[in-house]
Amino acid sequence: MSRFRRAARTATAFAGWLLGWAAWTLAALVVVFLVLDLLPGDAASARLGQNATPEALAQLRAQYGLDRPVLVRLGEWLRGLASGDLGNTLLSSAPIGPMVATALGRTAVLAAVAAIGIAILGWGGAILSGIRAGSPLDRVLSSTALAAICTPEFVVATVAVVVFSSALGWLPAVSLLPAGGGVLDRPQILVLPALSIAIVGSGTLMRLVRPIVAREAASAHVEAARLAGLAPSRVLVRHLLPGALAPAAQASAMLVPYLIGGTVVVERAFAYPGLGSLLVQAVANREPGLLMACGGIVIAVTVFAYRLADLSQTDRS
């Protein structure tokens, strides 16, 4: 009985958590929709460019339905969202749903590879630094991480291309997919973009996790284990890391939004046809539906990650 009650309570809490996530995401989407509408320029002015005349603009806006009040368009978009219909692009009248899904799939693969890189470099660096805080190794690693954080992704990307593509010729400089094929048909195209994201991202993660490891390393129970003569690896795995895990996980969750932001920049530099490239195109063409779909995914994932980080904090206290 009590087990049932506990399960029910967990389920309710989970449902509440999901509901909160959905509510926050929706609120953010509505704000974004309204803010986008305030920006100068729209799909009609983007399409007509210097051929814009007041009549042509008015005609195209009417054709695109952009002449209707913003709240009407918002309502229509929300209704579409609820029924799973993301609509079509205004300019090319291509369905947005499949377009975004394909791009999201490619981005997810890239982000996953980059995340593994970030985890290895970031956590590895943090542990090496944190367990011997103040040592020369710590100082070298910490300043390297700081340098990595301060370097824009496109600079890292350019350097990576110069070294691994132009000079060594090991990897392609541009991440081109085979015609009609997928990423896994040509996995080598993922290496340089993932590396560029991982270098910058792991710097941030390392700086976030290192103090947690250092604090834990200086704690009484770890000190006691060390004094008891346990092997350093055993101290690390059994005594130090368990205490660092929750706060470090929280720090890692905070990195998810970065992972998305970094992907946008890097995709463009490598001409990788993912969500980031699509988002840039949506902005350039002022495609409201496409922008909301791409932006919506970014927002949903970001809110999810932050709430996850919050959750682990609540659990801990």
Binding positions for another protein, 72-111, rule CB under 8 A: 89, 91-94, 99, 102-103, 106
Of 95 and 124, which CB lies nearer to another protein in the complex structure?
95
Which residue number, 45 or 219, has a Cβ lying nearer to another protein?
A: 45
| Of 60 and 305, CB closest to another protein | 60
**Residue 59 and residue 40: Cα distance in Å, rounded?**
18
Write down the number of H helices and E strands in the chain.
14, 0
CA 252 from chain center: how many Å? 12
- Give the integer Cα–Cα distance in Å for 292 and 32: 8
Q: How far is CA 153 from CA 144, 200, 261, in A?
A: 15, 7, 10
Cα(215)–Cα(125) distance, integer angstroms: 15
CA dist 103 and 277 (Å) reads 9
Please tell me whether residue 277 binds another protein under the rule CB under 8 A: yes
249/280 with CB nearer another protein:
280
**Binds another protein by CB under 8 A, chosen from 49, 69, 84, 229:** 49
Site for another protein contains 179 (CB under 8 A): yes
Residue whose CB is less far from another protein, 281 or 313: 281
- Identify which of residues 141 and 161 has a Cβ nearer to another protein in the complex: 161
Burial of 270 (0-12, 13-18, 19+ CB in 10 A): buried
Report if residue 291 touches another protein, rule: CB under 8 A: no
Of the candidate spans 59-67, 115-123, 254-262, 305-313, the one that interacts with another protein by CB under 8 A turns out to be 59-67
Residue selected from 167, 180, 233, 317 as contacting another protein according to rule CB under 8 A: 180
Residues linked to residue 95 through DSSP beta bridges, in sequence order: 88
> Would you say 276 and 266 are in contact if contact means Cβ atoms under 8 Å apart?
yes
Are the C-beta atoms of residues 212 and 244 closer than 8 Å to each other? yes
Q: Tell whether residue 47 is a contact of another protein (CB under 8 A).
A: yes
Rounded Cα distance, 40 and 95, in Å: 25
Least Cβ distance, residue 287 to another protein (angstroms): 7
Contact footprint for another protein (CB under 8 A): 40-41, 45-53, 56-57, 59-60, 63, 89, 91-94, 99, 102-103, 106, 161, 165-166, 172-174, 176-181, 268-271, 273, 277-278, 280-282, 284-287, 290
